Structure 1
Amino acid sequence: MTYYHVSFENPLTFYLQIQLMVEVPAEATAPLALQLPAWRPGRYELQNFAQKIQRVEFSDAETDEPLPYRKVTKDRWEVPSAAGRSVRVRYNFYAHQMDAGGSWLDETQLYLNPVQALMYAEGHQDLPCQLSLVLPPDWRLACGLPQSQPNVLEAKNFDQLADAPLIASPTIEHQQYEAGGLPFHVWVQGEEAIVNWPRLLADFKAFSEEQLALFGSFPVADYHFLNQFLPYKHYHGVEHHNSTVITLGPAELLMHEALYKELLGVSCHELFHTWNIKAIRPAEMQPYDYARENYFRTCYIAEGITTYYGEYLLARSRVRTPAQYFEELNIVLRKHYDDAGGQNLSLADASMDLWLDGYKPGVPDRKVSVYHKGALTALLLDLTIRQLHGHARSLDDVMRRLYDDFGKTGLGYTDEDYARIVAEVAGRKMQVYFDKFINGTAPLQEPLDKALHTVGCQLVAYENASASEGTFGFRTVVKNERTEVTYIWPGSPAAAVLTADDEIVAINGRRVDMNLQSLLSTGAPLYEVAVFRQNRLVLVELLPQPDAVFGVRYTIEKLADADEAQKTGFQKWLGWEF
């Protein structure tokens, strides 16, 4: 067993004191290697948590004799003379990151994501782990791991420990509901939050039961929603083995419609991950390698399908109405069509590139979102399978097959496994779908509109009302009274004369001051634009391009003349009358 001990002396410094003790067999010949994870499951980029580590010391646990060691990489240490010893490692960890993947310490709480802070001994990852926490006597501990005694958590291996965030606080609230005969715990940290518990628990129970009905069983024995409701605007969620951390704010607006819908959406999304990525895991992550990138081509399944179901199941469980669901779908559409990146990178390659720049804006038009396009391709696949089989089969069947074949067995799946199961459920070859929309960059508009018609809906295109973007192809933002170009559509009039970061100061001799759109809407045959570019004044001529439209806005709407077959399809898909 590996023993971990976490305490803190002065929470105002944000430093935790961490110890771990490892028993090294006498016959060991290689140095004892201690590795701190460089990334965390749920965010597929290197985050280099070793930046938060201070003052590492190694000693013999019995004699307290210091042991020589050598740091061999940015987050790996080796102890050469460890054979037959109980080795103690001491270090400080800086817990000052308040998001769903972070850790935080102050006078009011300890919030810890162990994957950030705990080293593991190479070769000992499969041994049981025990984590002891030194907490004030009036603090309450929330975590998905079992407690063998107060503030002592037990994990069957390092993976389980690393994947078990915890919150300890004197003010944390707790409520519970049952779904499918299983306990679901809702923890709330945040004194500003006023929770309508009856409404929240009823809504959570509804979408939990819908997910359990979809898959037929649950991979874990209980589940914990660990909520940090913050006094400022924030939105983030991360999935774990039998829990999720959700950071959301501002807390005082929690039960207002705009923020409450975000809470429902992220909570339903993260619960779905309990099956889709925690149980149904890509082969490349069986097991996790915490020291380096774990490249995989299937994040469009892990995140894209989950993004689709996260909102869709809220409608299917009647927590949200179809109109509310379409509002969220339209946000996904807007985000997907917000730039031209989808023309240049496939979903499968974007899955790989999460490790490169997937969570950053990146250079213009380089990439596509596995979340947004992944959700739209999931919708397309679901409606296609439903059309082929009169709604007797759907994407639900694909997910159940993945769970039965891989989630329940502990085997990892590949993109070939997924494509095979899709074809078997669809009852026909689906190679065109994968060639065009998963491994290719074909546009989605026409096939998505055709599929939506089968359930009495359509994809509607609206011209961009912004003159700068819709007519000329550039987007701006006002910063400190400066109008700066932030994005330019490829092939647009703006692409011929403007560049990102240009500051637009005048148009046809008129100063630009919150009046850009009106100055570009006079119907002039030519617009002389004065810009500061790298602090140099440049005059360029912007020519309107007849009949060209950039930044088209797409929405999903019901058909006004839907027939009975389409209305029936709508009901079978969403569970609501048309």
Structure 2
Amino acid sequence: MPHYHLSFQNPLSGFLQIRTSIEHIATPELYLQLPAWRPGRYELQNFAQKLQGFAVLAPDGSPLPFRKVTKDRWRVETQGHQALEVRYNFHARQMDAGGSWLAADFLYVNPVNCLLTAEGQEQEPCTLALDLPEEWQIACGLPLSGPHTLEALNFDHLVDSPFIASATLQHQVYQEQGILFHVWFQGDCTPDWTQILPHFQAFTREQLALFETFPVKDYHFLNIILPYTHYHGVEHLNSTVITLGPAEQLMLPTLYKELLGVSCHELFHTWNIKQIRPQEMLPYDFTRENYFRTGYVAEGVTTYYGDYLLARSGVFTSEQYFQELNTVLKRHTVDHGEQNLSVADSSFDTWLDGYKPGIPDRKVSIYHKGCIGALVLDLEIRKATQNARSLDDVMRRMWQEFGRPGIGYSEEDYQRLAEEVAGISLENYFREMIFGTVPFEKWLTPALAYVGCTLEKEPAVLPYESLYGFRLNPTITTASVIGYVAPDSPAAAAFSVDDELIALNGRKLENGNLVNLLKGQAEVEMTLFRQKTLKTVKLKPDGTVHLPQFCVKKNPTATAEQQANFKQWLKQEFTETIQPAQA
């Protein structure tokens, strides 16, 4: 049984001291493996770069010879010893929902970042002992086998169970269907439990009704609330880590909405990806890329349900839900990547560049395009079955036929189940929306019409985006620097990304006056710096609305049948009742 021990000497350094005791060795060589990536983010992260002072010791404390054979794999000469200890420091200074962080007042660890395993002992039960101040609590999905000691069934169980330890954890519990759901907060915040718990209960109840059974015995929402703007969430076996900020705004509408959205999203992952897993990831191989093409299921469907179920459970109004949906549309249409790579192929490429912008117009997000695809599929199934069935039935069968028995699914399995539930062929949908590069509005517009809604295509708020097809870099506020140029737009023949605009028709650009100087203008002359060289170019509108924004809205002329379909879909009346103001 591997035993792990974690301590820290100087929190200000960020270094954790980690010891791993390995027993029952029967070979002259032993291979040690540190994960190269973590579930929930499908790219290599090379955690070994954060290790310092790596050593392997015999039971008597003498060093054993070892050699690194890959970036995160070591070969140890055991010299006949049946036990050994591995020691190293780990730099825990990554504050997001997938990282680890050491501070004077709390410790947060994702074990997948920093714990290694001995080859051949991955399925052995293991313990993790934490050397912590006596008064500190531990928030974690793992059970305690002793004071400050966590116990796991195997290595996968251990590294899929992050924890927070501190003396200032805030904790409440709610219960649904006899299952305990723990909500933990770490940070300088004041949670309004009278608001939080009923909302969490509502979306939890809706998810349990959808899937009918829950994969795990209990669940933990591990929230780290930060003193600065931040947003991130990561799913785990029976928990999630959520990092949000700024702390003083936790219960204000904008940030509280984010807390609800990410919490509902991550809970849905307990079924979808933690249990309903693509066959390429069953089991996880932490040593290399695990390529898969069904990110539109793993993340796209989850993104759809994350906000949709908040509306269906009554936590969001339909208008609040549409605000979130329109944000997804805005993020999806930030460039023209949909023209060049399908969402299935973009899923395969998460291991390449899926979590950074990459070159212009290369790919789509499995979250955003996948969410749109899930919405369309849900409404297509409802239309084909006169609301008798929906995407709920597909996901329930995915859970029953693949997740619960621990069988990996293929993209053919997902399409087959969708067609069986719909009772019709969905070949065109999958060929165009999932495996193709057809514009999303071709499918979304008629799908929304079924529930009395429209997809509005409107000009961008900033006139130069619509007229000429360029955006400024929003991260540069001291100058007007080109951040994006739409293909086949007037700007494409004049600008390059990173051009610094200096003047318009001879007038200096300053203090955000570009919009005002464009008023009443058509053809304009722009002066700019490109690679420190001064240039002058001309721009002329071509009559096309470039970089439009898309919005989902209720159709004021929706028929009674469409309004009834809307209620079947969202469990809300088409016309919302306006609550009277409180006296």
Is 2:493 the partner of 1:504? no
Indicate conservation of the 8 Å contact 2:494/2:539, yes or no.
Answer: yes
Distance 1:187 1:469, change over 3 A: same
Which of 19, 32, 35 pairs up with 1:34?
32
Match of 1:318 in 2: 314
Amino acid in structure 2 at the alignment position of 1:150: P
Aligned equivalents of 2:473, 2:436: Cα separation in 1: 32
* Structure 1 residue ranges without an equivalent (≥5): none
After TM superposition, the score normalised by the length of structure 2 is: 0.97
**Deviations along 1:248-297, whole A, 9 cap, x unmatched?**
00011100000000000000000000000001011111111111111000
Indicate conservation of the 8 Å contact 2:343/2:369, yes or no.
Answer: yes
Aligned equivalents of 1:481, 1:105: Cα separation in 2: 35
Is 2:412 the partner of 1:416? yes
SS across alignment from 2:215: coil
Match of 1:566 in 2: 562
Is 2:166 the partner of 1:133? no
Match of 2:142 in 1: 145
Aligned equivalents of 2:463, 2:430: Cα separation in 1: 37
Amino acid in structure 1 at the alignment position of 2:331: K
**Deviations along 1:433-479, whole A, 9 cap, x unmatched?**
11101110101113211111111111111112322110001111363
Q: 1:240 Cα deviation (Å)? A: 0.2
Aligned equivalents of 2:19, 2:66: Cα separation in 1: 16
Aligned equivalents of 1:439, 1:446: Cα separation in 2: 15
- 1:77-476 equivalent positions in 2, closer than 5 A: 77-81=74-78, 83-191=80-188, 193-476=189-472
Match of 2:577 in 1: none
Match of 1:56 in 2: 54
Distance 1:255 1:82, change over 3 A: farther
Amino acid in structure 2 at the alignment position of 1:492: S
**Deviations along 1:116-158, whole A, 9 cap, x unmatched?**
0001111111111111111101101110001011111111110
Q: 1:302 Cα deviation (Å)? A: 0.4
Aligned equivalents of 2:567, 2:178: Cα separation in 1: 28
After TM superposition, the score normalised by the length of structure 1 is: 0.98
Indicate conservation of the 8 Å contact 2:58/2:81, yes or no.
Answer: no
SS across alignment from 2:358: coil
Indicate conservation of the 8 Å contact 1:155/1:161, yes or no.
Answer: yes
Aligned equivalents of 1:518, 1:457: Cα separation in 2: 35
Match of 1:16 in 2: 16
Q: 1:80 Cα deviation (Å)? A: 2.3
Indicate conservation of the 8 Å contact 2:384/2:424, yes or no.
Answer: no
Is 2:515 the partner of 1:517? yes
Indicate conservation of the 8 Å contact 1:105/1:111, yes or no.
Answer: yes
Aligned equivalents of 1:558, 1:480: Cα separation in 2: 36
Q: Which moved more, 1:17-26 or 1:245-254?
A: 17-26
Indicate conservation of the 8 Å contact 2:295/2:344, yes or no.
Answer: yes
SS across alignment from 2:20: strand
Aligned equivalents of 1:173, 1:154: Cα separation in 2: 23
Distance 1:371 1:480, change over 3 A: closer
Match of 1:46 in 2: 44
Aligned equivalents of 1:181, 1:571: Cα separation in 2: 30
SS across alignment from 2:41: coil
Is 2:73 the partner of 1:76? yes
Is 2:2 the partner of 1:2? yes
**Deviations along 1:140-195, whole A, 9 cap, x unmatched?**
1110001011111111110000000000000011100001210000011002x111
Aligned equivalents of 2:46, 2:423: Cα separation in 1: 45
Q: What is the aligned length?
A: 572
Amino acid in structure 2 at the alignment position of 1:543: K
Indicate conservation of the 8 Å contact 1:24/1:32, yes or no.
Answer: no
Q: 1:519 Cα deviation (Å)? A: 2.2
Amino acid in structure 2 at the alignment position of 1:35: Q
Aligned equivalents of 2:560, 2:378: Cα separation in 1: 20
Aligned equivalents of 1:12, 1:275: Cα separation in 2: 38
Q: Once superposed, what is the RMSD of the aligned Cα atoms?
A: 1.0
Q: 1:14 Cα deviation (Å)? A: 1.0
Aligned equivalents of 1:562, 1:492: Cα separation in 2: 36
Q: 1:81 Cα deviation (Å)? A: 2.7
Aligned equivalents of 1:101, 1:466: Cα separation in 2: 36
Q: 1:24 Cα deviation (Å)? A: 3.9
Q: 1:84 Cα deviation (Å)? A: 4.6
Aligned equivalents of 1:322, 1:539: Cα separation in 2: 49
Aligned sequence identity (%)? 56
SS across alignment from 1:471: helix
Indicate conservation of the 8 Å contact 2:161/2:236, yes or no.
Answer: yes
**Deviations along 1:334-386, whole A, 9 cap, x unmatched?**
11111111111100100011100111011111110100010000000000000
SS across alignment from 2:349: helix
Distance 1:82 1:260, change over 3 A: farther
Amino acid in structure 2 at the alignment position of 1:576: Q
Aligned equivalents of 1:25, 1:503: Cα separation in 2: 63
Indicate conservation of the 8 Å contact 1:24/1:82, yes or no.
Answer: no
Indicate conservation of the 8 Å contact 1:32/1:82, yes or no.
Answer: no
Distance 1:83 1:285, change over 3 A: farther
- 1:518-533 equivalent positions in 2, closer than 5 A: 518-524=516-522, 526-533=523-530
Indicate conservation of the 8 Å contact 1:24/1:87, yes or no.
Answer: no
Aligned equivalents of 1:355, 1:160: Cα separation in 2: 23
Amino acid in structure 2 at the alignment position of 1:67: L
Aligned equivalents of 1:537, 1:266: Cα separation in 2: 46
Aligned equivalents of 1:311, 1:83: Cα separation in 2: 57
Aligned equivalents of 1:258, 1:145: Cα separation in 2: 32
